Structure 1
Amino acid sequence: MMRCTIAIETEGPGRPIGRIQKTLKLNLPLRETWLDTAKGLGITLVVMAHVLDHSTWRWAHPIYFAVSLFFMPFFFIISGYLFAVTERKALLRKRVQGLLIPYVMFLGAIMASVLVVDFLRGDTPAPWQIRELITDALLGGRHLTRELGVFWFVTCLVATQLVYNEVAIRTSGPTDPSMLIFVGASVGLAYSIQAYWQEVRAPLALTNVPLAIGAFWFGHFLRERGMSALWSAVFVVAVAGVALAAARTGSDFTFSMKNAIFGPPLLGLLVALAISTFILGLIRFMAMPSLRIAPLAEIGAASLVIMFVHQFVHFTLRDFGMSSELALIALSLGLPYLLYRGLRSSRILSPWFIGSGDLALSIQLMRRSLAFRAG
C-alpha cells in the first residue's frame, strides 16, 4: 500500500487560509516487480559475460560479444524507467544513502579481501602496490580492474541521474525539445569521446556519462510515453535490419561501455536500445501472474550486491583452480546472493551495504553494542 498526502486549502470565518492534510491509502504497488525480474536477468547476464570473458570454451567469445552489445545500457534504461523528477538535495541524499555509501563500503571490503587472499596465497603486496591500489580506488572508473572492475557503474549511474535530473527539472518531459537537444548533444559527445579521447581514464567514469544519459533518457521515455507492441516490433526490426547491413560492410559493433567503446556512431547505442526493448517486452509478458519467475526477481532485488561482489568471487575461485564455467557462474551469483540475504537481515549492516534501513538507528545500535562490550 502507498500513502498519498493531499493538502486542502480552507478558510474559516475570521481566520486566514490554513492547510489541512489528509492521508489516503491507495491500492498502488510501491514498485513494479517485473523490473526486479529484468534486473535479475540483467545481472545474470553480467555475471555470465564476465566469466566467459576469461574462458577458453569455443563458444565463450561469441556469447560474450552478443551479451556485451546491450548488458550495461540495459541497467541505465531500467534506472531511467524508474526515474521521477526530484528536488536536487533530496535526490543527492537518496543517492548517497542508497548507492554511494554501499559503493564505499564494498570497495573497502573487497580491497581488504583481495589483500587477504593474496596473503593466503603467499603473495604479500609491496607498500607501493598498496598505495597504487588505494589511489586507483579513489580515482575509480577505468582505474579499477579485476575484482574492482565493475565499480565504475555506480559512480557513472549517480552522475547520470544527478545531471539528467537537473535538466528534467527545467523541462516538461522526455519529449520536450530542450530535453531532446540535451540528450542528442550528450550522445554526440559520447561518440566524440570514442573517436578522440577514448584512452582518457577520467575519474569516477565521468566520460561514460554522456552515453549513459542516452540510455537513461530512453528508459524515461518508455515510462512516460510508452511504446506499443507494434511500434516496439517496428523499432527492433528496423534497427536489426540496419545493423545487419552495416555489419556486412565491415562495421565493428564491439561495445564496451566502461572503455568508451560504443560501436558505430549512434547505431551502436540503437542496437543496445533495441535489444533492451525486446527483452523488457518479453519480461513484461513473462511476468504475468500465470507464469512463475519469482527466483529471477529475487536475484534482481540483490543485483547491487551481486554487481559489487561477483568478480571477487569469480577471480578468487579461478585463481584457486576452478575452471568450470557453469560452477563459476552459479557461485558468482549464489554466494553474493547469500551475502545479500545476510546483510538484509541485519539492522546494523543493511543501511551501510545495501542502502536500506535507517542509518541513524544503525549507528545507535553500534554504539549500544560497543558500550555493552566495554561494560
Structure 2
Amino acid sequence: MGEDRRKIKRNAEFRRLYVTLRLRQCRSAIRANSHLPQSMMQCTIAIETEGPGRPISRIQETLTLNLPIRETWLDTAKGLGITLVVMAHVLDHSTWRWAHPIYFSASLFFMPFFFIISGYLFAVTERKALLRKRVQGLLIPYVMFLGAIMASVLVVDFVRGDTPAPWQIRELITDALLGGRHLTRELGVFWFVTCLVATQLVYNEVAIRTSGPTDPGMLIFVGASVGLAYSIQAYWQDLRAPLALTNVPLAIGAFWFGHFLRERGMSALWSAVFVVAVAGVALAAARTGSDFTFSMKNAIFGPPLLGLLVALAISTFILGLVRFMAMPSLRIAPLAEIGAASLVIMFVHQFVHFTLRDFGMSSELALIALSLGLPYLLYRGLRSSRILSPWFIGSGDLALSIQLMRRSLAFRAG
C-alpha cells in the first residue's frame, strides 16, 4: 500500500512538472510572437499516469491560448527600415559623391519610421505589465549589448596596439551610464532604445486615461509634445539629456501617428492626398531656403512641424509600398527575416562598420553587406540559444535561462 502511495505521489509530481514546462513553452511562444492581431493556438499536453493495479494510461489535455500572429509585412517594413539605417550610417562616412544625397534623403524619416511602427503595434496595457515587458524585451538586451560592445571596443583597441588610459575607460563607463547623446561611434545608436521605452511608457499613461488616438485629451497631449520638441530644437538643442529624454517629445508625435494608423486607418486615397500635400508644401518651403536637415538624436527636427510631417508622409508612402510588396505573389521573405533581427542589427551594426573601417575596408557595398549580415548571423545564433536569447533578444523564458545556467555551473563544478 505504501509503495502505491509513493507511485501516486511521484506521478502527481511528474504531472505538475510536465504541465509547468509545457505552459512555459507556450508562454515563450506567445512572447516570441508578440504582434497583433490575436489568433488562437492550441497547446496539447500529454501526461502518462500509472495508478495502483492498472497499466499506464495516457491522458491528453488541450489548452487553448490566445497567441498573437506575426504580421510579416511589419517585419518587412522593419527590414527595409534597418537596411536604410545601416546604409545611411555607412554612407555618412563615405567619400563617394552620391553618399551625402542618399544619407540626407534617408535621414529625413528613418528614425521616426521605427517609432511609427512601434505605435502601430501599441495596445493600451496595465502599467506594471508594460514596464515588465519593456524591461525584458528592450532594457535587458540594451544593457547586455552595451556591455558586450564596450568590452569588444576595448579588445579591438588592444589588438590595434591602442591601449586606453584609465581615464578613457572611466569616461566610457560614465557615457554608458548617461546614454543618449553621450554615446558615440560604435555605441551611437543605443539612444533609440531608451527613447523608445520612455515614449511607450509616457504614451501608455495618457492612453489609459483617454479613449483613443483621436480623443481630445490625447490630441492636446500630442500637440503639446510636438510643440515642446520644436522648443527644444530652438532653445536647448545642445542639451545632452541622459537616456535621450529630450528626444521623447518628437518621438511621441511619430508614435501617435502609428497608433492612429492602426486604430483609425487611412485609405489609399487619403494616404496619397496626405503624401502629395506634404510634398508640395515641403518643396515650396525648400525653394524659400528652409533647412530640412533631420537628425533626431541631435534634436534637429527640420522646419517646425513640417519636418515631422515630411517624416510621417515618407513613412506613410513606405508602409503602403511594403503592404503591397507583402502580397503572396511577391517574394520578400529575406527582408522580413532581416526585420525580425532588426534590434540586434541596430545594436551591433556600427561596431561592425567602424571596426572594419579601422582595419582598412573602404568598399561601401562590402561594409553595408557585412554590417547587416554579421549581426543577422549573431541574431540567429542568439535566437537558437535558450540561455542567451532572453538576455540579448528579449525572447524566451528568463527564469528558465537562469535555471539552465545554474544547472550548467553545478554540472561543471561537480
CA distance in 2, matches of 1:20, 1:230: 56
Secondary structure (helix, strand or coil) at the match of 1:55 reads: coil
Secondary structure (helix, strand or coil) at the match of 2:329 reads: coil
Q: Does 1:345 align with 2:384?
A: yes
Cross-structure match for 1:88: 127
Q: Structure 1 residues 210 and 23 mapped into 2: Cα distance closer, same or farther (>3 Å)?
A: farther
Q: Structure 1 residues 316 and 9 mapped into 2: Cα distance closer, same or farther (>3 Å)?
A: closer
Secondary structure (helix, strand or coil) at the match of 2:278 reads: helix
Count of aligned positions: 375
Secondary structure (helix, strand or coil) at the match of 1:27 reads: strand
Cross-structure match for 2:54: 15
CA distances 1:265-298 after superposition (whole Å, capped 9, x unpaired): 0000000000000000000011011111000000
Residue 131 of structure 1: how far off its partner (Å): 0.1
Question: For the aligned residues, what is the CA RMSD?
Answer: 6.0
Bigger Rg over Cα: 2
Q: Does 1:115 align with 2:154?
A: yes
CA distances 1:194-246 after superposition (whole Å, capped 9, x unpaired): 00000000000000000000000000000000000000000000000000000
Q: Structure 1 residues 279 and 10 mapped into 2: Cα distance closer, same or farther (>3 Å)?
A: farther
Residue 31 of structure 1: how far off its partner (Å): 2.1
Q: Structure 1 residues 120 and 221 mapped into 2: Cα distance closer, same or farther (>3 Å)?
A: same
Secondary structure (helix, strand or coil) at the match of 2:67 reads: coil
CA distances 1:69-96 after superposition (whole Å, capped 9, x unpaired): 0000000000000000000000000000
CA distance in 1, matches of 2:310, 2:118: 18
CA distance in 2, matches of 1:211, 1:15: 69
Q: Structure 1 residues 164 and 296 mapped into 2: Cα distance closer, same or farther (>3 Å)?
A: same
CA distance in 1, matches of 2:44, 2:257: 30
CA distance in 2, matches of 1:220, 1:359: 29
Cross-structure match for 2:332: 293
CA distance in 1, matches of 2:214, 2:364: 44
Residue 26 of structure 1: how far off its partner (Å): 8.9
CA distance in 2, matches of 1:320, 1:353: 27
Q: Structure 1 residues 183 and 16 mapped into 2: Cα distance closer, same or farther (>3 Å)?
A: farther
Residue 30 of structure 1: how far off its partner (Å): 1.5
CA distance in 2, matches of 1:230, 1:165: 30
Cross-structure match for 2:401: 362
CA distances 1:283-332 after superposition (whole Å, capped 9, x unpaired): 00110111110000000000000000000000000000000000000000
Instruction: Give identity over the alignment, percent.
Output: 97
Q: Structure 1 residues 267 and 134 mapped into 2: Cα distance closer, same or farther (>3 Å)?
A: same
Q: Does 1:47 align with 2:58?
A: no
CA contact (8 A) 1:2 1:30 kept: no
Secondary structure (helix, strand or coil) at the match of 1:26 reads: strand
Q: Which of 38, 63, 68 is the equivalent residue of 1:24?
A: 63
CA distances 1:85-133 after superposition (whole Å, capped 9, x unpaired): 0000000000000000000000000000000000000000000000000
Q: Structure 1 residues 117 and 10 mapped into 2: Cα distance closer, same or farther (>3 Å)?
A: closer
CA distances 1:153-176 after superposition (whole Å, capped 9, x unpaired): 000000000000000000000000
Secondary structure (helix, strand or coil) at the match of 2:327 reads: coil
Q: Structure 1 residues 15 and 208 mapped into 2: Cα distance closer, same or farther (>3 Å)?
A: farther
Q: Structure 1 residues 14 and 284 mapped into 2: Cα distance closer, same or farther (>3 Å)?
A: farther
Q: Structure 1 residues 269 and 106 mapped into 2: Cα distance closer, same or farther (>3 Å)?
A: same
Residue 33 of structure 1: how far off its partner (Å): 1.1
Q: Structure 1 residues 168 and 19 mapped into 2: Cα distance closer, same or farther (>3 Å)?
A: farther
Q: Structure 1 residues 294 and 351 mapped into 2: Cα distance closer, same or farther (>3 Å)?
A: same
Tell me the TM-score normalized by structure 1.
0.94
Q: Does 1:282 align with 2:321?
A: yes
Secondary structure (helix, strand or coil) at the match of 2:68 reads: coil
CA distance in 2, matches of 1:327, 1:124: 28
Q: Structure 1 residues 214 and 20 mapped into 2: Cα distance closer, same or farther (>3 Å)?
A: farther
Q: Structure 1 residues 14 and 331 mapped into 2: Cα distance closer, same or farther (>3 Å)?
A: closer
CA distance in 1, matches of 2:302, 2:48: 55
CA distance in 2, matches of 1:172, 1:274: 25
Q: Structure 1 residues 14 and 136 mapped into 2: Cα distance closer, same or farther (>3 Å)?
A: same
